[in-house]
Amino acid sequence: MELHEVGYTLNIQAENIMQYPKTIIKGISYNSQDVEEGYLFVAIKGYQQDGHHYIQHAIENGACAVIGEEMRADLSVPYFQVENSRKALGLISDHYYNFPTDDKILIGITGTNGKTTTSYLIRHILEDNGFSCAFFGSTKNIINGEVCPTINTTPNLLEINRLLAGSKDDVVVMEVSSHALTQHRIEGVSFDYALFTNLSHDHLDYHGSMEDYFQAKRKLFEMLKKEGKAIVNTEDYWGEILASQLVGQGIPMISIGENGRSDMKLESYTSNPRSLLLKNGNETISIKPLLYGFHNMYNIAMAYGTAKQIGVDTKGAIQSIERFEGIEGRFTIIELNQGATVVVDYAHTPDALFHCVKTAREQCSGNLIHIFGFRGDRDPAKRREMISISSEISDQYILTFDDLNSVSPVDMKNTLIELQEKYGNENGKVITDRTLAIEGAINMAKTGDWILITGKGNEKYQQRCHYPVQNDEEAALYLAKEEK
C-alpha cells in the first residue's frame, strides 16, 4: 500500500505526503517489537506505556514510516502526526487490507453478561442453517472455521482486518467490550445488527460510574449502518434507556423482554423440565433448550431474533437452539460418582452470580455449596454484593482465591477474611487454595447436593495450587477420584 493513498482520510498534512510520495509499506504494527523491514509503526499512548518512546526501536527494526500523536521532526523516516493514533490505526488497516468487512453481515454484541453465550448461539444457528460465520470473542476467534487465539474480547481493527483478510465467511459475529469502544479499537466498523444483552455492575474501576459504562456501551449503537438494526433487552434498566434513545433517533429496533410491549416476548419459562415460550409478533414459538437458567433464555431470544433477521427460518432456528449444548465453563455440569453434582461457571459479576446461583438452587434437591473468589486488581466494589447473593441463596459457601494478578496471597487472604467477617454469614468460610476448597466441598457433599464453582469457568488457573490440576473441572474430576 502506498501511504499517500490514505493521506486524506487520516488528515495527514499534505506537504508531508508530497515530501514522501512513494512510501510503500509492507506491514503495519503498533508494537515496535513486531516491526519488520518496510513496516509502518503506529505509536500509541497506552495505559502502561507510551508507544512514542519506542519509535526509535521501531525504526531500528526496519520501520519505513511512523504515525504518532506527538510533534516529531527528528526522525530519519516519514512521520505523520495525527490527532488520535488508535483511530488512525483502524482507518489505515482498513485501507491496507482492502476493507475486508465490507462484503459481510456484521453483528456486534455488547452488554455486561451473556455476550459470549449469545454470540456462540448465533454462530451455531447460522452455521447450522447454511451461513458461514466468523467469530471474535473472549474465548477465541474463528475465521473460515479455524480457531485462532485471542488476547482481548474485542481485538483492534488491525488484528480484525488481518484475520478477516482471507475470510470467506458470510457473517461476522463480534463480542464488543466497553474497553474496545472507549479505546477506538473498532472505530470505523459499520454493523448490520447491534445487540445489547444487559448492563450491571462491572469494570467500574475502569469506567468510574454506571453512566459512563453505559455511554461506552452505547457507542456500538452509533456504529450501525443506515439500514442496520438494534436488538435490545428492554427488561434491563439500561436497555430500556437505550431503547428510548434509539427510538428517539429513529433507529430501527427490536425490543426483547417479558412485557406485552416487547417485539419479542418471553411468554413463559419452566426450569424443570426446561422449556421456553417466545412470542415474536403473531408467531408463538416453543423451545426445549438444553441450556439451564432464565438468563440463558434471554440469550436464546436474542440469538433467535438475530438469526430470523438474517433469514433463518423458524423451524431451522428452533432445531438448532435445541441442539446447542452450551459453552465450556458456562454452567458445565459434572456428575460425581458419589451422587453429588459439580457445576463450573464463569460468573464474575453480581448479576451473573445471582442468575447462576439461582439456577443451581432451582436444580438442586439437596444442599447447595458455592465456591468463589475475586480477581486481584479488578473492581473491588462488586465483592460485597457477590457475598450477599451467595450467603442468601446457597446453603454453604467457601471464599477462595481467583486470579491474584498483582495482589499478594497474604493480601488477598486478608481481604477474604475481612469481607467474610463484615458481609458474610455463619455458613461461609475461607479456604484460600482453590483446589483445597473444592476438596472441602466434595468431602462435605452428599447425594443430591450441588457444588457450584464460579469465577474461572474453563480458564486455566493463574497460580499453582495444592493439587496438580489446571482448572476447576479438572480439579473436581481429580478430587472426586481421590475420594473413592
Ligand X SMILES: Nc1ncnc2c1ncn2[C@@H]1O[C@H](COP(=O)(O)OP(=O)(O)OP(=O)(O)O)[C@@H](O)[C@H]1O
Ligand Y SMILES: CC(=O)N[C@H]1[C@@H](OP(=O)(O)OP(=O)(O)OC[C@H]2O[C@@H](n3ccc(=O)[nH]c3=O)[C@H](O)[C@@H]2O)O[C@H](CO)[C@@H](O)[C@@H]1O[C@H](C)C(=O)N[C@@H](C)C(=O)N[C@H](CCC(=O)O)C(=O)O
Residue whose C-beta lies closest to ligand X? 114
Question: What is the distance between the alpha carbons of residues 251 and 394, in angstroms, rounded to a whole number?
Answer: 43
351 binds ligand X (CB under 6 A): yes
Residue 30 binds which of ligand X, ligand Y, none (CB < 5-8 A, kind-dependent): ligand Y
Q: Please identify, using beta-carbon distances, which residue of 116 and 320 lies nearer to ligand Y.
A: 116
185 binds ligand X (CB under 6 A): no
161 binds ligand X (CB under 6 A): no
Question: What is the distance between the alpha carbons of residues 154 and 177, in angstroms, rounded to a whole number?
Answer: 6
Tell me how far, at minimum, the Cβ of 131 lies from ligand X, in Å: 21
299 binds ligand X (CB under 6 A): yes
- Is the separation of the CB atoms in 265 and 259 below 8 Å? yes
Question: What is the distance between the alpha carbons of residues 342 and 74, in angstroms, rounded to a whole number?
Answer: 62
Tell me how far, at minimum, the Cβ of 158 lies from ligand Y, in Å: 8
Q: Please identify, using beta-carbon distances, which residue of 177 and 432 lies nearer to ligand Y.
A: 177
Question: Rounded to 5 degrees, what are φ and ψ at 218?
Answer: -60, -30
Tell me how far, at minimum, the Cβ of 64 lies from ligand Y, in Å: 16
Tell me how far, at minimum, the Cβ of 25 lies from ligand Y, in Å: 17
Look up residue 292 and give its amino acid: Y
DSSP structure class, residue 172: E
- Is the separation of the CB atoms in 65 and 20 below 8 Å? yes
Q: Who's near 441: CB < 8 A, 6+ residues apart?
A: 369, 371, 396, 398, 451, 453
Residue 117 binds which of ligand X, ligand Y, none (CB < 5-8 A, kind-dependent): ligand X
Residue 292 binds which of ligand X, ligand Y, none (CB < 5-8 A, kind-dependent): none
Q: Please identify, using beta-carbon distances, which residue of 115 and 229 lies nearer to ligand X.
A: 115
Residue 298 binds which of ligand X, ligand Y, none (CB < 5-8 A, kind-dependent): ligand X
Q: Of 117, 178, 306, 458, which lies in the binding site for ligand X, with binding defined by CB under 6 A?
A: 117
Look up residue 483 and give its amino acid: E
Residue 406 binds which of ligand X, ligand Y, none (CB < 5-8 A, kind-dependent): none
With residue 368 as reference, give the H or E element that holds it.
Answer: strand 368-372
Tell me how far, at minimum, the Cβ of 51 lies from ligand Y, in Å: 4
Q: Of 29, 113, 391, 396, which lies in the binding site for ligand X, with binding defined by CB under 6 A?
A: 113
Other C-beta atoms closer than 10 Å to the C-beta of 33 total 9
Question: What is the distance between the alpha carbons of residues 386 and 393, in angstroms, rounded to a whole number?
Answer: 11
127 exposure class (CB count in 10 Å sphere: 0-12, 13-18, 19+): middle
Tell me how far, at minimum, the Cβ of 359 lies from ligand X, in Å: 8
Look up residue 286 and give its amino acid: S
Site string for ligand X, 64-93 (x = CB under 6 A): ------------------------------
473 binds ligand X (CB under 6 A): no
Dihedral class, residue 463 (left if φ above 0, else alpha if ψ from -120 to 50, else beta) = beta
**Interacting residue ranges for ligand Y, rule: CB under 6 A:** 30-33, 44, 46-49, 51, 54, 151-154, 156, 177, 179-180, 183, 185
Tell me how far, at minimum, the Cβ of 171 lies from ligand Y, in Å: 21
Q: Please identify, using beta-carbon distances, which residue of 47 and 410 lies nearer to ligand Y.
A: 47
Residue 351 binds which of ligand Y, ligand X, none (CB < 5-8 A, kind-dependent): ligand X
198 binds ligand X (CB under 6 A): yes
Q: Please identify, using beta-carbon distances, which residue of 153 and 161 lies nearer to ligand Y.
A: 153
Strands ordered across the beta sheet of 332-335: 332-335, 341-345, 450-454, 368-372, 396-399, 428-430
Residue 382 binds which of ligand Y, ligand X, none (CB < 5-8 A, kind-dependent): none
**Packed helices 383-393 and 350-363: angle between N→C axes, nearest 10 degrees:** 10
Q: Please identify, using beta-carbon distances, which residue of 93 and 112 lies nearer to ligand X.
A: 112
Q: Who's near 263: CB < 8 A, 6+ residues apart?
A: 253, 254, 255, 256, 280, 281, 305
- Is the separation of the CB atoms in 473 and 334 below 8 Å? yes
Q: Of 86, 124, 218, 355, which lies in the binding site for ligand X, with binding defined by CB under 6 A?
A: 355
The window from 24-32, 143-151, 222-230, 351-359 that contacts ligand X (CB under 6 A) reads 351-359
352 binds ligand X (CB under 6 A): yes
Helix (H, G, I), strand (E, B) or coil at 303: helix
Q: Please identify, using beta-carbon distances, which residue of 197 and 396 lies nearer to ligand X.
A: 197
Residue 356 binds which of ligand Y, ligand X, none (CB < 5-8 A, kind-dependent): ligand X
List the interface residues with ligand X, window 308-347 (CB under 6 A). Answer: 330, 345-347
Q: Please identify, using beta-carbon distances, which residue of 51 and 428 lies nearer to ligand Y.
A: 51
Q: Is the peptide bond before 409 cis (omega within 30 degrees of 0)?
A: no
- Is the separation of the CB atoms in 340 and 445 below 8 Å? yes
Residue whose C-beta lies closest to ligand Y? 46
Alpha-carbon distances, residue 167 vs 172, 260, 319 (angstroms): 10, 41, 27
Residues at the interface with ligand X (CB under 6 A): 113-117, 138, 153, 175, 197-198, 295, 298-299, 330, 345-347, 351-352, 355-356
